[in-house]
Every structure is written in structure tokens, then in C-alpha cells.
Structure 1
Amino acid sequence: MLTEVVLALVVGGVIYFLVQRSRKQVLKTEDGWWGAGAPPGGEEDQSIRPFTVQTSDGEIEDLYRRIDQTRPVESLEDSQFNYGFNSIYLQKVVSYWRNDFDWKKQVEKINRYPHFKTNIEGIDVHYVHVQPRSLPEGTSAVPLIMVHGWPGSFYEFYGLIPLLTGPSDPGNLCFEVICPSIPGYGFSEAPRKKGFDSVCAARVFLKLMRRLGFQQFYAHGGDWGWLVTTNMAQLEPKAVKGLHVNFAPPSKPSLPMVLSILLGKRFPKLFGFTDHDIRRIYPCNQNLVVEPVKESGYMHIQATKPDTAGRGLNDSPVGLAAYILEKFSSWTDPDFRSLEDGGLTRKFSLDDLLTNVMIYWSSGCIVSSMRFYKENFSKGLDQPHSRMAVHVPTGFACFPNELMHSPKLWVQQKYPQLSSYTLQPRGGHFAALEEPLLMAQDIQSFTKTLEKKK
């Protein structure tokens, strides 16, 4: 009993010290120019232009020609998805892509919502902007920006958008949703200069929201979207009314985190560990080292030489599909690595998966999307934003099969104003696409709580 009390005092004191030290910090940044050449003189073009995703017979014919010329590779016997995308199942996916997938129909689906572009810091930024179908009298829509990651896109949110903009429950909030493409992803223009990292993306999206007339808003992010929206809250905490994320890996080890790893299995209540926390953390060598290493090889490539690997993916649609879709298997459930088909269609439809691939293919953005890793990691892990807490109300949706598990104590180190931490019944890394209803419910619950307080 005495040991637990002493440990609690030590941990509590350290947490209090860290929170107090960073309480008044605000992330600093300077405007950039990411277009070709030097910035032109005169006023910045702030016009907003409607945008329509398009395709053509020529684009589809070129795709089919490249698919037809692919050279299949045999998988090892009994390898399933443990060596990457299983070649036998890949041929089935490619056959569906070539003979049954209707890209023109999916383009119509993509264009179901209004798309726009506007030029910020020298590059065209693409975004989807969806307003509520109807609003109860005397109410206003709640602005919400949702940011995707890699190898996802704005399309990840297409199942979530109608649940937020037209909720069936009259007691729920109606959201006005903005889903931008990170510059270098999808239909946002790629930066022409080195150095465009998450802080730059955050600054661009803050300018986007102001340009749309929103002085205050909510933000949601997963994968890279977690870091971009976190940086937005660090840059302008008064603009971000609330931050909701479903991915929050520790930016750097803290003393409370280290103590919890060393002692959490023996004293779980002391650190607020649940049974799920214990299962995901221990044994440490397997869950905190081996498993992340299995799924992070791509990261080292993209953080060092993205243009080399990316060039091959940019030329081969089959290679691109294998590279992207393998993540939708193992990042959704690690047990899917033991299945011949990678469990892909257990949680997703091939039409949705291939639509995401086609956004990368048709826009030719795979290389520029991979460069985002280079720009973020080349500056080192000890960046100002990694040392800085986030002092806006935060909600965390904890999906049980997320790549990196973050117990509540660890999340609170970065987000001291954590107002909700919800363990979801199912779901993995691509939760918005996989479990849109669960995600919508968590965003609703988190936002309603804050709006009632206000």
C-alpha cells in the first residue's frame, strides 16, 4: 500500500510539473511559399473555385493497358499476407479491377458532394465542403474539419459525412464538414519546394478555415490527420474549439509513460490501465517493439528515399494497389496477416478500396504523398511541437486494433484537457472508413459535451 501511494505521488508530481511547464506555450510558424519559383508580387488570389473530379476513356484505357501488362509473381506456399500482399489474391483483386470495377460510376459518387479548390501559399488546396441538408429552427451548424492520412484520402470520410451533416437523431448536432486533401495528396497540388511538413499543412488548413469564414471550429484527424490537427490546435488554440482524434502515438517517452510500462502490469490501477491496456502493452518486447517493426518498414523507405520507391508505384497500377491495399489489411487487424485474402473484404468493399487507390493513381500523387514522411522525419524527432502539450479540449476514440495503442495516461501527457477517452468495441487504423457509425457517435458525444458547457 505504501509503495502504491509513493508511486502515485511521484507520477502525479511529474505530470503536474510537465503540464505547468508547457501551459502557456503556443507553436510558432511563418508563412511559406510552395509554388514554383519565387512568389509573385501583389495580392494573394483568395478566390474559391468549384472543382469536379473527372476521368476519360483515355485514362481508363491506359489503366487497362498497364494492368494487362503486369507480370505476376508467385507467393510462397502457406505465406498468406505475412510477406506482404498475397499474389494469388492480388490477381483476384486485379481481375475485379479490370473487369468489374466501374471508375466512372465511382467518380459520380465522389462528385456527390461539392468540391472546391483555393490557392494558399502558392499551391491549390482541394477540399470537400458539405453543409447540413436541413437545420432545426434556431440552431446553427457546427463547423468541423476532418483530415486524412496515408495511404488514405478525403474519401475515407464519405460514409461518415452523411451521419454528421444529416443525423437521424433530432437530439444530435448538425455539422458543416470540410474535408481537405493534404497538399501532395489526392487533388491538392504538391509542394514544389522542400520542407512542407505537418506544421505547414496545419498552417495552410487554418488559413483555409478562415477563408471559409470560420473563426472557431472543431477538428478531427487520424493517422497524419492526427498530427496536422494537433499542430492546428498548437498554432491557434483559440480557433480550435475541440480536437477529436483516433490516433495518438506518444511523440516522445515521458517519465510517467516509462514508469507505467515498468510497473503497470503489477500495479494497473495506479496508472489507470484497463484489461485492454494490459493486453496491448504486455509482453512489451512483442507488443511495443516486434509488432511495430513488422508494420513500419514502409516508413523508413518513405522517410529516406521516397522518390526511388515511389517512381515504380507511379508507373504500375498493380504495384500501387498492392502497396496501398496491404495496409488496409494488416492495419485493420493484425490477425488478417494469417488469411489468404488478407481479410480485405471483411471490413471494406473492393469498390471503396479501389476508389481510394484510383484517387492516388488518377492524380499521380503517390510520390508526393510519400515525401510527407521525408519532410516530417528529416527534421528530427525532437521538434518544438513534439515537446508541446495541446491545451484545447480533446476527445480520443480508442479503436482496439489500432496500430499503436495509447492508454489514457499516455494520451493525457500530450492532451492534458482530455475530456473523453472511449474504448470502441471494434475497429482498426482506418476507423472512419471501417466504422463510420462508431466514429460519428464518438464525435457527436464529444462535441455535444463541449457545446453544452459553452
Structure 2
Amino acid sequence: MDVLNGRYLRIFGLICMCAVIYNYIGVRKSFDVEKPEISLQQWWGDDDPPDDWAAYLKNTSEVIGNKLMYPDATIDDLREQLNRTLRLTEPLENSNFKNGFNTKELQKIVKYWRDKYLPRWRERELFLWQFNHFTTEIQGLRMHFLHLMVYDENKVGKHHYPVLLLHGWPSSIREFYTLIHKLHQTHLDKNSKYIFNVVVPSLPGFAWSQGTSRVGLGPVEVAVMMRNLMLRLGYNKFFIQGGDLGSLIGSHIATLFPENVYGYHSNLCTVLTGRSSMKGFFNVMFTNFFGTHGFEENIFPHMKQLKHLAEETGYYHLQATKPDTIGAVLTDNPVGLAAYILEKWSSLTNRNYKLYVNGGLNERFTLDALLDNVMIYYLTNSITTSSRIFAENFSQQQISLQMNRVPTDVPTGCARFKHDFIHFQDSQLKDKYCNLIHSTYFKEGGHFIALEMPELLHADFIEFVKKVEKFSKLI
């Protein structure tokens, strides 16, 4: 019986191999889709769209500096909520984080939040406002962003580029703070030839960026807004770095507006197509057929990775189908909000952290940094509006654009960090990213790499910029 099973397996593998060969030789071009026509002036504001778009742009082009400070009453109210008796169910014996957030550890975090963090809130507030914060109106919505510039006297002998940093969920601009410093201060290194102007927006519906009341604001439409923001700031061409949703949005910008992008760098490159899946399955049958550059342990055994993906993406399914329900549960519920957000910072940083009683949250991050991020969601009441983009991403309108099958020639760099929840090989990525010039694998690191290991991400990004200059002849 084992012999028969082995024979059938080989026959099935041969069929798959023939399918892949046919795919490449016979019908490869039929998988490519033309770039869709996307409106650059779609209106997302609550009021009626303008009749005169030129006049609207002229009247709303102002960029305003902001420091959105919160009154003592807001912080006192949060302290009172955290001071309520918690009626949490005891965790199962030795369950650690296997069933989600360990409630004993949650009580410790709430105590720290209330007794140690909140008394220092003004200190944390100053930390959050250390950079220049701005708002401007883009397509009817108030957009919030950080903008750090290097002035003329520092440009001598340097190569000067704008960089757009795009965060994901449940993250925020806070994830990038160390990376922002490293990019902005690159010009201070006498051995570096680069200076960067850094733009870090809060995505629409996240933090201080306004959410829409209209249906249809998905990642493609957000990509248009991010590109329009960069043009508003005077950057006609720029680099992009992003992970999670920021990776998807950055990919869409590179695909839709290649003329505006020097290069696209991501720590979560994905291509979700039938052809990509076939290649992944084919690699299961013939291990490492397409090659993984010594990083096989994070892709094989394949079923182990699929099991991990299924375990850790339940939130994605919930937010892609019922974002307002989870939003209602977490609004005005700071303890629930912290548990929901921080559990993802545990499980997506390292799959083995579920075996730790505290979810490994203090292994790579400080509790202050994690609570900064939670506070941004709480103070801006953005958990519902930030979750809606998942549902929009799976709308029929968004799916019909088939963006995964629209190739781009923009120079692309993909960095894979071991403990992220999904990885794609170069052979899969090149179907979409035809100019994949930078491909790296790391034996550590997870999903929120900009906060976890900013030095490593910065170094990888700089290597990518060097390759873009070399292959694109920018200098």
C-alpha cells in the first residue's frame, strides 16, 4: 500500500510539474492583468463632493502643524476605568498564551498601565510629539502625518531622497519612531552618502487621520490618497517602506503610479494568485525546487506553516466580515482593547511566545512602547474605523481589480523575517514584482520589525537603496 501511495504521489507530482511548465511556456501572459483605471479625485468626506475640484485643491492645500494634547479629564477618566474591579476568567492550567491573552498577565499589565504609565502620561505625550506632526485635507478627509526634512546646508555631497513609511494594523506611526531617527539622521554619518526626508502618515481611519462614512475606501483607494499626500508635500518621486497593510498599500502605489516611485521595500511581500499557490504546492512535492536561500526551516514543513497561519489570522476573518461588531466590543473598553491589540504583538512577533506565561511581550519590546500604541487607538477611538479596511479589502469592488495579477517594474526589495506569519519565495514574487532586485532572509525577527529590530530593517533598506541606484542609474 505504501508503494502504491508513493507511486500515486509521484504521478500527481508529475502532473503538477507539467501544469507549471504549461503555465510558464503556454499561457504565462494570460495571467497578467492590465493596470485598472482608478479615480484620482474620489471623494471620501462626509459632505458633498466639490463641483470645482481645482478650486477645492487650492483651498485645502494648506499643511497645518499640530500637537493634539489631551486634557487631564480624559486621562483621569481612563484611570477610573482601569481602576474598576476586573471580572476576568481564570486561565486554564499551564495554558500560558495558547488560548489567547493570559488573564493573570493582563491584570499585571492593567496595574502597570494605571499605576506606573498613566502618572507619566505627560512624559509619554512629549515623547509621542517629539517629531513634527501635521494635518492636511486629502480627498475630503483630514490626514495626519509626521514629516521630517533635512535642510539645504546638509545636502552637500549627499544623495537626497524622500521616504514614505506605511504602518499596518494593529500598529501605528509609533512603530517607526526609532527607524525615523535612523533614517532622518543618516546624513550625520560621515560614512553615509544618503539623506532622507521622511513622511509617516496615519492611514485613513487610524489614529488622528479621519475615517470615512462612505463605502469603498479599500487599500487601492488609500494608495491613491498616500500618493496624493506625497505630491501635496512636493515629492513627485519617493521610496516606500511598509509592512502588514502598509506593504499592501505600498505595493498598490508602486503598481498604479510607477512614475512616482524610486523603489518599493517591504518586510511582508505577498502574491496571492493561483499561480503563486501552485508554485508553493509544487515546492511541497519537490522540496526547495524553487530555492529559499538557506531559509527552508521557515517555509517547510509546509503544513506546519499553514497551521500557524490559520491559528493567527482569526482576527483577520472577523474584521473582514464584521468590523463594526468587534469595534463595538472594544470601544470604551480599554482593558479589552489592550488585550486584543497586545495579543497580536505577541503572536505575530514569535509563534513560540504562546508558550510563555506573559506572551513574550517583554522579550523584544518595552511595555511603555506597547502601551503608547494602545493609547493612540484608545484616545482617538479608532479601533472601528481602522478595522473596516479589512472588510473593504475583501469587497467585490476591490477583488475585481485583481491587483495581485497586475505586474510592476518598480525596483522592489523584499526582506523576510523568520517569525512573520507568511513568506513567499522569489519565484512567486517575480510574477508580480518583475524587477525584484533585493531579496533577503533573516533567521530572527517577526511581524512588527520596525519596532522590534529597527537597526536591522534600516540596514536592509539602505542596501536596497544602493541597489536601486546601481540598477536604475539614479546617480
Tell me the TM-score normalized by structure 2: 0.89
Residues 22-31 or 342-351, more deviating: 22-31
* Number of the residue aligned with 1:227: 248
Question: 1:413 offset after TM fit, Å?
Answer: 2.2
Secondary structure in 1 matching 2:113: helix
Question: 1:10 offset after TM fit, Å?
Answer: 7.6
Count of residue pairs brought into register by the alignment: 447
For 1:188-203, list aligned pairs within 5 A. Answer: 188-203=209-224
The Cα offsets for residues 170-209 of structure 1, whole Å up to 9 and x where unpaired, read as: 2242111100011000110111211100011100111111
Question: 1:135 offset after TM fit, Å?
Answer: 2.5
For 1:413-432, list aligned pairs within 5 A. Answer: 413-432=431-450
* Number of the residue aligned with 2:410: 392
For 1:176-255, list aligned pairs within 5 A. Answer: 176-254=197-275
| 2:107 aligned to which of 91, 95, 101 | 91
For 1:250-265, list aligned pairs within 5 A. Answer: 250-254=271-275, 257-264=277-284
* Number of the residue aligned with 1:335: 352
* Number of the residue aligned with 1:37: 47
The Cα offsets for residues 394-423 of structure 1, whole Å up to 9 and x where unpaired, read as: 001111111112222222222121000011
Alpha-carbon spacing, 1:22–1:239, altered in 2? closer, same or farther (3 Å): farther
| Contact kept in structure 1, 2:323 and 2:391, CA below 8 Å | yes
The Cα offsets for residues 140-163 of structure 1, whole Å up to 9 and x where unpaired, read as: 521010100000001111010111
Q: Distance in 2 between matches of 1:125 and 1:351?
A: 26
Question: 1:9 offset after TM fit, Å?
Answer: 9.7
The Cα offsets for residues 248-299 of structure 1, whole Å up to 9 and x where unpaired, read as: 2332231x6424423456352x41234423x2333333312x2111111111
Q: Distance in 2 between matches of 1:24 and 1:71?
A: 53
Residues 11-20 or 197-206, more deviating: 11-20
Residues 373-382 or 363-372, more deviating: 373-382
* Number of the residue aligned with 2:4: none
| 1:174 aligned to which of 170, 185, 195 | 195
Question: 1:425 offset after TM fit, Å?
Answer: 3.6
Unaligned runs of 5+ in 2: 1-12
The Cα offsets for residues 78-98 of structure 1, whole Å up to 9 and x where unpaired, read as: 111111111111111111100
Alpha-carbon spacing, 1:9–1:261, altered in 2? closer, same or farther (3 Å): closer
Unaligned runs of 5+ in 1: none
| 1:71 aligned to which of 62, 65, 86 | 86
Name the larger-Rg structure: 2
| 1:383 aligned to which of 401, 415, 429 | 401
Secondary structure in 2 matching 1:202: helix
| Contact kept in structure 2, 1:70 and 1:318, CA below 8 Å | no
| 1:441 aligned to which of 456, 459, 466 | 459
Secondary structure in 2 matching 1:415: coil
Residues 188-197 or 373-382, more deviating: 373-382
* Number of the residue aligned with 2:6: none
* Number of the residue aligned with 1:108: 126
Q: Distance in 2 between matches of 1:238 and 1:319?
A: 44
The alignment status of 1:355 with 2:372, answered yes or no, reads yes
* Number of the residue aligned with 1:157: 176
Alpha-carbon spacing, 1:15–1:432, altered in 2? closer, same or farther (3 Å): farther
Question: 1:233 offset after TM fit, Å?
Answer: 1.0
The code of the aligned residue for 1:26 comes to K
Secondary structure in 2 matching 1:88: helix
| Contact kept in structure 2, 1:182 and 1:201, CA below 8 Å | yes
The code of the aligned residue for 1:304 comes to T
Q: Distance in 2 between matches of 1:70 and 1:230?
A: 46
